[in-house]
Amino acid sequence: MNTSNSKLLENKSFMELDGLVGLPNGVKPAPMKYNLGKINKYLNETGKEFKELTVLELKQFERVK
């Protein structure tokens, strides 16, 4: 019983240091601007690298809201 109490106190002190990480009630990140799956498929088909894409090419992969 004593070891479980010490572990509980140890875990509680870590939570106070780091905060509650990974819980669903945190702030959600903004949705991705581009569909990365489609970009990856396009890059494989064309043989280009991501940094070679033009603005017009990137526009076709934007997610529709």
pLDDT digits 0-9 by tens, 7-42: 655 555 555 444 555 556 667 778 889 999 999 999
Is 26 within a domain?
yes
Res. 47: pLDDT tops 80 = yes
Is 51 within a domain?
yes
Q: Count structural domains, the chain.
A: 1
CA distances from 60 to 14, 39, 44 (A): 45, 9, 16
- Rounded to two decimals, the pTM is 0.53
Is 65 within a domain?
no
Domain carrying residue 9:
2-59
Is 64 within a domain?
no
Q: What is the mean pLDDT of the chain?
A: 77
Taking the C-alpha atoms of 49, 50, 55 and 61 in order, what is their torsion angle to the nearest 10 degrees? 120
The structure tokens listed for 3 are 């070891």
| pLDDT at 17 (0 to 100) | 46
Check if the beta carbon of residue 31 is closer than 8 Å to that of residue 1: no
pLDDT-derived band at 5 (thresholds 50, 70, 90) equals: low
Is 34 within a domain?
yes
| pLDDT at 14 (0 to 100) | 52
| pLDDT at 59 (0 to 100) | 94
